[in-house]
């Protein structure tokens, strides 16, 4: 996950899974995916995602608001 977090521009607004948000806490705009996507520029999440996070991610992927930029291919 560290590789992916470094890919996100420092001033970008980010929404992330509950266990990833602490790694982004130095950002002025870092939100939890538990609630919504908000006005985020990037989404970071782990798979399998809990249902309440999965719903938000699927919604923005299906309506083409977001696309997949990278996948770490592992759970680290």
Over the chain (76 residues), the average pLDDT of each successive run of 10 is 87 93 91 93 92 93 88 65
Kind of pairing, strands 42-44 and 14-16? parallel
Q: State the pLDDT at residue 74.
A: 63
Tokens 């592992």 locate to 74
Q: State the pLDDT at residue 2.
A: 83
Whole-structure pTM value: 0.84
Q: What are the backbone angles phi and psi of residue 66, rounded to the nearest 5°?
A: -135, 160
Instruction: Name the nearest CA neighbour of 74 among 38, 47, 51.
Output: 47
35: left (phi over 0), alpha (psi -120 to 50) or beta: alpha
Residue 8 three-state SS: coil
């Amino acid at each position: 996950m560290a590789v992916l977090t470094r890919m996100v521009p420092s001033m970008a607004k980010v929404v992330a899974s509950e266990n990833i948000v602490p790694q982004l806490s130095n950002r002025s705009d870092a939100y939890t995916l538990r609630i919504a996507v908000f006005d985020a520029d990037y989404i970071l999440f782990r798979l399998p995602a809990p249902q309440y996070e999965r719903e938000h991610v699927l919604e923005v992927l299906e309506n083409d608001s977001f696309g997949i930029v990278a996948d770490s291919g592992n759970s680290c």
